[in-house]
Structure 1
Amino acid sequence: MRFATLVATATLTCLLLSSTPLSNAAHAASAFPIRARVLTANKLYRTGELRASQCAERDVGAKTVASAKRYLTAVLNCLNRSWGAHFKRAGLPFAKAKIGFITKPRKYCGWPWGSAAATYCDAERRFLVLLDDDMLDVSTSLFLFETAVHEYGHHVQNLTGIARSYDRYPYRNKSELNEQNRRMELQAECLGGVFFGSVWDSLTERSEEDWKILLQMVRDSGDEQQKIRSHGKGSNRATWLDKGFRTRSPQACNTWTVSSSQVS
């Protein structure tokens, strides 16, 4: 898969994104407009709002690997339960995502780990989270939650055929590939926001200020921080995350039909 992964640093305002590995072959095609209907007119967009549900956060005050594992496993259970019910109502096939944890980077799903905080693997329907000191330092913020819901956004893309269509979609050069990757990553960001919005009222220890802080963290972690423009400017990342949060609808997450400037 032509995936890229989210990177955590020790500070709340320096969340960077790792570069995207490029496929060996490039084909003659246009990056925009995207013409694959699996991407532009997927059934997912017609499934309605994600219903409100409960997802109480576990305590991670100790900032230990064990507490972070419990926290993220509980969030994954919420994600599988909520999205599973949503897919069932829509008549779409569903399979649960799995999660794993490492404390040191290692090769995963055929790609070097790099500086990623978490990586989703289509073939395994699983994402790994790197619980190193940097991740544990930010574990009491919403960043752990954000990591899980973003990677689960890739799981939703996998289940609906979006990931496969993206992998096969042609491009002429790195610029076109990077734009396609931004559409993919920003959609996962938005789908993560959809789940955030559906469970927000159950996060009783969180306030609107916590959401604002997370959005600012995202704004400070865009492609402006690196040379490869593969994930989107910080402002666009925050916009798509918040759009999903406010609408709670996958329909709002169709990044494949918007103008290039909205996924720059």
Structure 2
Amino acid sequence: MRFSSLLAATTLACLLLSGTAHAASAYPIRDRVLTANKLYRTGELRASQCAERDVKPNDVAAAKRYLTAVLNCLNRSWGAHFKRAGLPFTKARIGFITKPRKYCGDSWGSTSATYCNAERRFLVLLDDSLLEDPSDLYLFGLAAHEYGHHVQNLTGIARAYDRYPFRNKTELNEQTRRMELQAECLSGVFIGSVWDALRERSKEDWETLLEITRNSGDEQDKIRSHGRGRNIAVWLDKGFRATSPQVCNTWTASASKVS
């Protein structure tokens, strides 16, 4: 469904694809790779060009071209940002399927897309529900969110998350929400940095994406893994307005902000 969630892109993706067990520990989060990562001190993403390609409803070929073009923008923007910050960078890759299949060692589930740390690639399920009305920014935001997981992978955040201990399911779910909400914030950072280049888009387009996001999240699912829709929208908009990873430190945010 269109309102299934922008973050349905990775239903427990970082947890399930890692294959890493967690041990017991206490809060707050104390791993400095998570709480004080160099990423937060890299400054704003500089404005860059990113022209959207045409995409029509239920047109798989056009959707592939559209998403590949967005990925190219993401690689250019984040690649230049990492270079200025003196951080190592590797481009992300993208793949497409039209039917769910096992990926990166796990069954597909109900996700729209999934990033695989080991492959540094995300796979997008181009099914009828995703392509029924691609006129909004949903596809753009989907790619930007998955790339947020790539940024987490490159900066060691993904590995630190994989190994971080938890005492119970409640703590595990909160850690997963921090991971997912950070990826959403990073997607907002990118979208904000290229917003002026999206000349066909208006404030209403952004508000529509926020509304889609508010009508998504854990309220639509039994798994408390991505956050409530209103919180997802808050982190997305926060990144968009700041265009800097500095505001995306979900690991030091209060529990209520990642609920």
- Compute the TM-score of the two structures, normalised by the length of structure 2: 0.94
Give aligned pairs, total. Answer: 253
Is 2:65 aligned against 1:70? yes
Q: Is the 8 A contact 2:218 2:226 kept in 1?
A: yes
SS at match of 1:120: strand
> How far apart are 1:24 and its partner, in Å?
8.0
**Stretches of 4+ aligned residues off by more than 3 angstroms:** 16-19, 21-26
What are the ranges of 5 or more consecutive residues in structure 2 without an aligned counterpart?
A: none
Q: State the Cα deviation string for residues 73-125 of structure 1 (Å, max 9, x = none).
A: 00000000000000000000000000000000000011110111000000000
Indicate the residue corresponding to 1:4 in structure 2: none
Indicate the residue corresponding to 2:156 in structure 1: 161
Q: Is the 8 A contact 2:122 2:146 kept in 1?
A: yes
What are the ranges of 5 or more consecutive residues in structure 1 without an aligned counterpart?
A: 1-8
Indicate the residue corresponding to 1:209 in structure 2: 204
SS at match of 2:250: coil
Q: State the Cα deviation string for residues 172-195 of structure 1 (Å, max 9, x = none).
A: 111100000000000000000000
Distance 1:65 1:33, change over 3 A: same
Indicate the residue corresponding to 1:6 in structure 2: none
Indicate the residue corresponding to 1:5 in structure 2: none
Q: Is the 8 A contact 1:63 1:140 kept in 2?
A: no
Separation in structure 1 between the aligned mates of residue 117 and residue 258 of structure 2, nearest angstrom: 23
Q: Is the 8 A contact 1:39 1:256 kept in 2?
A: yes
Is 2:61 aligned against 1:47? no
Q: Is the 8 A contact 1:222 1:233 kept in 2?
A: yes
Deviates more, 1:208-217 or 1:222-231: 222-231
> How far apart are 1:63 and its partner, in Å?
3.6
Deviates more, 1:219-228 or 1:178-187: 219-228
Distance 1:19 1:87, change over 3 A: closer
> How far apart are 1:59 and its partner, in Å?
0.2
Is 2:231 aligned against 1:219? no
Indicate the residue corresponding to 2:177 in structure 1: 182
Separation in structure 1 between the aligned mates of residue 84 and residue 23 of structure 2, nearest angstrom: 38
Q: Is the 8 A contact 2:22 2:163 kept in 1?
A: no
Q: Is the 8 A contact 1:51 1:198 kept in 2?
A: yes
Separation in structure 2 between the aligned mates of residue 24 and residue 195 of structure 1, nearest angstrom: 29
Separation in structure 2 between the aligned mates of residue 256 and residue 232 of structure 1, nearest angstrom: 14
> How far apart are 1:140 and its partner, in Å?
1.7
Is 2:99 aligned against 1:99? no
Deviates more, 1:53-62 or 1:162-171: 53-62
Matches within 5 A, 1:82-93: 82-93=77-88
> How far apart are 1:25 and its partner, in Å?
4.6
Indicate the residue corresponding to 1:172 in structure 2: 167
**Which of 25, 29, 50 is residue 25 of structure 2 equivalent to?**
29
Q: Is the 8 A contact 1:100 1:129 kept in 2?
A: yes
Identity %: 74
> How far apart are 1:226 and its partner, in Å?
1.6
RMSD (CA atoms):
1.4
Matches within 5 A, 1:68-147: 68-147=63-142
> How far apart are 1:225 and its partner, in Å?
1.3
Which letter does structure 1 place at the counterpart of 2:230? S
Q: State the Cα deviation string for residues 208-258 of structure 1 (Å, max 9, x = none).
A: 000001001000001111222110000100000000000000000000001
- Compute the TM-score of the two structures, normalised by the length of structure 1: 0.92
